[in-house]
Each structure stands twice: as structure tokens, then as C-alpha cells.
Structure 1
Amino acid sequence: MERFLMAEKVTPLDGEHRALGAAMTGFGGWLMPLRYTSDLAEHRAVRAAAGLFDLSHMGEIHLEGPGAAAALDHALVGSAPAIAVGRAKYSMICAEDGSVLDDLIVYRLADEHFLVVANAGNAPLVAGELAARAEGFDVVVTDRSEATALLAVQGPRAEQIVASLIAPGDVEPVRSLPYYAATPVTLQVGEGVAGLVARTGYTGEDGFELFVDSADAVALWRAVLAAGAEHGLVPAGLAARDSLRLEAGMPLYGHELDTTTTPYEAGLGRVVRVDKVDAAGERVEFVGRTALAARKVSPPARVLVGLRGEGRRSARAGYDVVTRSGAKVGTVTSAAPSPTLGCPIAMAYVTPELSGEGTELAVDVRGRAEPFVVVPLPFYRRPTA
């Protein structure tokens, strides 16, 4: 076990996690905090107040130059030129057969400067693919993952906490940030720390992501904890992040998305622009376009759905979804007891004819058919003011 743990990479905040007594686990090639106190307490803190997450294991790949937008248009399924400066879009990088290599967030930091944030385990692959697909374009691709730390403050009190750490002249731009947007700031940490603040989130709550140099990570982590103490903020680990994102119906690579899945099965066909054109009005032949165009007009063999348990026993990823009479019709991709809803929830791929809301199904939980019903995603939406 110790040899396994030593093989994992660690973030710049590893010492902070250990000082707080976090239980550590391997994830995507990194040693990360699973929990600090309890999964339930950390989940509930994010829903009621705020949680602080270390996301420094994520990948940050920059594309800069006159051809940056065109290079991304060729590399990804979405339209990079359509992203306004200061805004972001959810996208995917696919293989030629249309399968998903990773799901990404693409930020446009300037006219000729984009930041692509990749999942931790896929970051080296994404960086390599972007570099290869950018050949022939006037662009420089730089993987700055090791040099970048990423902290997330999520929850209804996130804005108050983050605003208290921002230099006065940057507070209003941060408060007025729309969803899926980012702005450069000076953080009032030490003598001042340059950073990028985004509002994208992965928990179903309002929240902010703070990108800084790795050397500034510890000081920022401590500053956020101090600023958030009066607001009920707690450090939160991977377990809470997973149950939060599941309630919010958000996919996780390796579960809902992988190299056997296209965006269409996952209900994410909206992010694919098969008919995008370049500045000259010519169709963009992005990687995977031919396969995805065919898949768009073909009936899917399986559909991603939400399942809500009618009993108390939770499913697990990989368990069979069956009809009430016992015939296998799908597979669970993610599952957990929902702290917010008070019942088991799951996402699963099932056959299309059984994907309608209200369809009564079951999950084989260690040989016992536990009743579930198909419900819309997401399971949880945060209250509106």
C-alpha cells in the first residue's frame, strides 16, 4: 500500500491536507484528500455554506497565437472562435471514431489566448493531442499544469468569501461574473498574488475557481480557510465532491464518459458543432466530425438517465440495471446515497425504450433487485433567490 501511495503525484497542498488530518487516496495518478472529517458533513457544508477543494491535480494547457482559435476549432467538438474574451465553454476532445477522450472547460483569456482545463488522469493525453492537432496552425501550445495550482470555493457563501480576498478594484468584476466566465485578479494574499478567478463550478452550487502559481498555493489555501471560517466554510475532499456532482447530474470521466461513449449517448450532443465553419465560410473538419455527424442522426443504442431509489440500499458503479422482471437493460455509471434528497440516486445507461421519466426499473445490488425509477437530471437544483 505504501509503495502505491508513494507512486502517486502530490499537489502543492499535500502538506496542508496532512496537517488537517485528511484521509488520502489515489485518484487519476495523484494522491488527493478523500475526506477531512466526514463525507456527509463536508457535503452538507457545501450545500449550506461553503467548501474549499484542492483541484491542483487538474491539467492547464494554454494555446497562444493568431491561430489559437482555429487550432482549437480543429481539435475540439465545440466552436472556439465563438467564445468571447472572458467567457468559457464546456467542450470535449474526441477520437476519430467520435468517442470521448476527455471533457474539458475552455476559457478565452484574450483574443489569441485560450486556457484548456483537462481532467487529472487525462491531462498528459490532452496536452499531447492538442499539440499534435495544432500542427500547421500559428499557435504555441504550453502545458502549465505543474506550475499551476487550482482551488475551488463552492457553496451559497462562496461569493462573500472570495470577494473578501480580492483587491478592492477587482471585487466588482468578480461579483458580477456570470456563470462560465473568468477574470484576472489580484488576490490580497501576502504582498499580493496574481490569479485568475472563474465561475464554473461542479457541485450544483454557486462557486469560484482560483488559478494561481503553484508557489502561491499554500498561502492562498490558508487565506481562504481563514476568510471562510466565519461563514461556515470547511475543507472538502473527493468523496463530497463526487456526491455533490452526482446530485447535480454532472458527468465524471471514466464513469459517464469514456472511449466507448460519444457525446450523444451521454445526452451532451448540444456541445458538438458538426456544421461549424471557419472564417472563410468553409466547413471545419475537426477530429471526429465524420463519425459524430453519423451518430447524430442515428438512434442511440443506450441513453444516460437518472435513477432515484425507492428503497434504502444504494447501487454502485458497474451494477446491472434490470427490469422489474429481472432482464438486464443497462449499467450503473455513478451511484450514492443522496445526503440532500435522503434517498439513493444513480446515473446509468439503459436502452432507449426504458429511458422515459417514471419508468420503473431495478438495480441488482448483490443479488437483490432494488427498485429504482427513472427521473430527470439533475437530481438537485440550488434554490433561486
Structure 2
Amino acid sequence: MSKETALHAVHEALGARFTDFGGWDMPLKYGKELEEHRAVREAVGVFDLSHMGEVRVTGPDAAAYLDHALISRISAVKIGKAKYSMICTADGGIIDDLITYHLGEDDYLVIPNAGNAPAVFAALTERAAGFDVTVTDRTDEISLIAVQGPKAADVMLQIIDEVTDAPEASGASSDDNSVAAAVAGLGYYAAFAGTIAGVPALIARTGYTGEDGFEIFVGNGADGAAPKAVWDAVLAAGERDGVLPCGLAARDTLRLEAGMPLYGNELSRDLTPVDAGLGVLAATKSKDEFVGRDAILAAKEKGTTQIRIGLVGEGKRAARGGYPILDADGNRLGEVTSGALSPTLGYPVAMGYVGTADVAEGGAAAEGATVTVDIRGKAYPYTVVALPFYAREK
């Protein structure tokens, strides 16, 4: 049976259509997914992301431990900042991609993906041996609400009651803890503590849509009233801008347009970070040891045999995950990992993996080249392009 977030009844009341995702019963959409997608691109949308995992890491060895357990140098992350990284197997396979927040001295919060949260917690627990740390799974205690879109900052300015702790590294002025200063100064991948609708919250600025956005972490409490109060505050504040509750369908097309990888599609245990084009996350130069280092270093030195590319098509037929990518002669080059008809651009877009040699200048899948995608037995032309497909104006 799928788990439910603290906001499940709220979504039911809004008429959400649900789907299982990572073992959770999550809103797929509330009305028309196209309208939800456009709300995020043009104004503001709100997502319940409480299915994401939350793992608290505390103790004197917390920084050194995370340097060992994850592929990036987490010890270099200042209090009030966050880092996108990965946790890998000893042979370099990606267990998950995740975000780690440095909350305070010897205090970190790791955010794994929903379906991978149990595996990440198990790996983190196992890797804690020999370190003076405490690793706690707090997934069932915390709700996560995302506010995304060009009007997201306007909404946050209305709903934050006060700033209770804004570390200098977060970007907020140390001598001005006003809400306006904190929101304006909050950089990308940074966070501060505050209250929203009277509820203590961690307020971060990251996102998975390609737009400006904020994430709000709140404790569920005994009755789930706190996340509902925050959710209601977002909807009320964003009403004049046309805020919409948004489901996983819109989230997927938004992240695809932004060229962001999804675990299970572009990322897996069969791929190293180097294979996924994210080898830069692995601190093989600044760290002498971490789980998977030898395999990832070898992959960097040897080079990957496959590479992720972007594809744009014509018409309305979208390539989907698993569809073959072919050259002009019908030879298989690789496979689509994600694809959809882009609501923003109006044409099909897709990501996939092809052989590294094929993307070299003059290769069958070099940037600008035309390939075909086999969509249910019929070949459709696609052009190879650089990622992302969409980038917001700064």
C-alpha cells in the first residue's frame, strides 16, 4: 500500500488525480497538466514534495563522514548553503542524486529522492561505522512544499512571518534579518530558518523546474496541521498571480525542458557520474578517499563510452523513454531516456544516451545532426541540440 503525505486529504479536496511514485500516493495533476506547467513558467505553482526523503546527520565527525559517504566535498559547504551531489556504490554506480544542506555546526540534512530514500538511508547507516555521527531518518516527520515560478519570491515575501536564523553564507545580511533582506539575499542552493503561518520552517532556494523557486521544510507535528497551514498560506498569497497546485506530470515536463536528469531515467546504478555527464561532482582531486572514488577516477581517466544528448523534433509525436535512437541508415545509436511534447516550446523534446564517438564532429549524433527515433515502428526525425531546451531569463 502506498504511503500518504500529511497533505493527502488537502489534495483529495482539490480534486487531484493520484499515482504511485516511489511508494507514495502522490498528485499526478489537479486539472489540466498544461495549465499547471504554464503556471510555473509564467507565474507560480506549488508542489507537495513530502515524498522526498530527509536524513539528518549530526555529530563531531559529520563533515568528514559525509566526505566519505558522498562523492563531493561536503566539508567545504558553509553553514547556510547546500550542495547537489551523489551517493555511489564502491564500483561507481549511482545509488541516488541528492542535496545536502549544512544547517549548523556538525549538523546536516540530506535529501534523497523518494524511491531511493530507503536505499540511501541504509547506505548512509552502513557508512557511518567508525565515525562519531548520528544518522536519523526523518522522512515521516517532515513535509516539503515547493513554490516555483517567476512570482515565487513575491509569494514568499507575503507568507514569511520572520527570519529566525540567516547564516551569513546564505546570502542574507547579518545585520538585517528582515524578511525582505533575507529573501532578496538568499542565493541559489542556500537556506535560512524562519516562520511561515506561525510554523517554524527551513526555507531554501533550489528547485527542479528551471524557474526561480523555494522549498519549505516543516515538521508534520501530531496532526499534520503545520504543513496544511503553510500550503494554504501559499495558495492565498499567490491567488492574485494565478497560483495553481501542481502535480508530478507538470513537474516532469518542467524538469525535462530544463534538461535536468531524473533518477531511473537518466541516472541509475548502471551508470557512473562520469557516464551521466556529471563527473564534475566527484571530488577526485580534493579528496583522497570516498566510496566509489577509484572507480569514478578510472572512469574519468578512461572516458565514458556514452553521453547524454538533447533532441528536438517536429509535429506532436513525442519520443518516450526506451525508444531507439537511429542514424540515417537505421543503425542503433542509443536510446531515449525521457521525452515529451514541450508545453513551453510547442514541439517534442527528449534526452537520451548515445555512443561518445557518435557526438564527435561529423558524427551521426553531433550537435546539429539529424537522427531518427523509432516511435512504435515509424521513424521520426529529431535534431541533436545542446541542453537545456529552456532557460529562464535571469
Pair in the same fold by TM > 0.5: yes
1:209 aligned to 2:219? no
Q: CA deviation at 1:218?
A: 1.2
CA deviations 1:235-254 (Å, max 9, x no partner) are 00000000000000001000
The aligned counterpart of 2:74 is 80
Residue in structure 1 matching 2:263, options 242, 245, 253: 253
Amino acid at match of 1:207: G
The whole-number CA distance in structure 1 between the counterparts of 2:182 and 2:59 is 26
CA deviations 1:345-367 (Å, max 9, x no partner) are 00000011223211211110000
Q: SS of the residue aligned with 1:332?
A: strand
Aligned ranges 1:41-190 → 2 under 5 Å: 41-168=35-162, 169-187=178-196, 189=197
CA deviations 1:321-377 (Å, max 9, x no partner) are 111221111010000000111110000000112232112111100001110111011
Q: TM-score, normalised by structure 2?
A: 0.92
Amino acid at match of 2:282: V
Check the 8 A contact 2:61/2:133 in 1, yes or no: yes
Aligned ranges 1:23-42 → 2 under 5 Å: 23-42=17-36
Amino acid at match of 2:158: S
Runs of 4+ in 1 over 6 A off after TM superposition: none
The whole-number CA distance in structure 2 between the counterparts of 1:208 and 1:231 is 16
The whole-number CA distance in structure 2 between the counterparts of 1:354 and 1:373 is 14
Q: CA deviation at 1:162?
A: 1.1
Aligned ranges 1:340-355 → 2 under 5 Å: 340-355=344-359
Q: CA deviation at 1:231?
A: 1.5
Q: Percent identical across equivalent pairs?
A: 53
The whole-number CA distance in structure 1 between the counterparts of 2:9 and 2:214 is 23
Amino acid at match of 2:358: L
Q: CA deviation at 1:206?
A: 0.1
Q: CA deviation at 1:265?
A: 1.4
Q: CA deviation at 1:91?
A: 0.2
Q: SS of the residue aligned with 2:139?
A: coil
Amino acid at match of 1:195: A
Amino acid at match of 1:76: L
Q: CA deviation at 1:174?
A: 2.4
Q: SS of the residue aligned with 1:334?
A: strand
Aligned ranges 1:247-326 → 2 under 5 Å: 247-277=257-287, 283=288, 285-326=289-330
Amino acid at match of 1:241: R
Q: SS of the residue aligned with 1:249?
A: coil
The aligned counterpart of 1:329 is 333
The aligned counterpart of 1:4 is none
Q: CA deviation at 1:164?
A: 0.5
Q: Which stretch shifts more, 48-57 or 130-139? A: 130-139
The whole-number CA distance in structure 1 between the counterparts of 2:180 and 2:195 is 10
Q: CA RMSD in A?
A: 1.0
Q: CA deviation at 1:124?
A: 1.0
CA deviations 1:44-90 (Å, max 9, x no partner) are 01000000000000000011111000000000000011101101110
Gapped regions of structure 2 (runs ≥ 5):
163-177, 360-365
1:232 aligned to 2:242? yes
The aligned counterpart of 2:390 is 380
Q: CA deviation at 1:383?
A: 1.5
Q: TM-score, normalised by structure 1?
A: 0.94
Check the 8 A contact 1:163/1:175 in 2, yes or no: no
Q: CA deviation at 1:167?
A: 1.7
Gapped regions of structure 1 (runs ≥ 5):
1-6, 278-282
Q: CA deviation at 1:156?
A: 0.1
